[in-house]
Structure 1
Amino acid sequence: MIVRIMGEGQLDLADSHFAELNALDDELLAEMEVGDGPGFRRTLGALLDAVRALGTPLPDDSLAPSELILPAPDSTLEEVRSLLSDDGLIPG
């Protein structure tokens, strides 16, 4: 799956990694629900770090469509809320 981190670029991420990422996504949702700003910031960073570590960067000139778009590391809680679906940031 092609994943874009806003402001950074795209990565090719194997579907087998999504169970691990969903655990972080669930944690992020829980922190957002209670308004835990520091927890939200920490977990968003961990989620994006995991995507970077597990994914293979695509060249900057790649025109592949992104199947999943994740917020930039400096996104606010409100900005991330606007990107959420019923499943969180990561479907599944």
Structure 2
Amino acid sequence: MAETCVLARVEGHVQGVSFRDGTRIRAQKLGITGYARNQPDGSVEVLACGAENAVSQLIEWLHEGPPAASVSRVESHPTSTVAPSGFTLG
């Protein structure tokens, strides 16, 4: 099973709506390591590393997010960034 790391930027109403925590919960269920961090411009940055299929499922989920979120855009690309152990919030 191939491993991959993807860096994503999620835009819209994604801060103050449990987006990072929802991402962490979903990532842990999928066996993904990485992080979700609020950015000063109101977006959320997500690093997701794990099995290609699992990372794809998480990126797909980012387009919706938790019920209170309103995602307007998700940009993602492969990265060589090394993920921390587990999935952290920042």
- Which interval holds the TM-score relative to the shorter structure? 0.3 to 0.5
**Larger % of helix: which?**
1
Q: Point out the structure with the larger strand share.
A: 2
- Give the TM-score normalised by the residue count of structure 1: 0.41
How high is the TM-score relative to the length of structure 2? 0.42
Larger Rg: 1
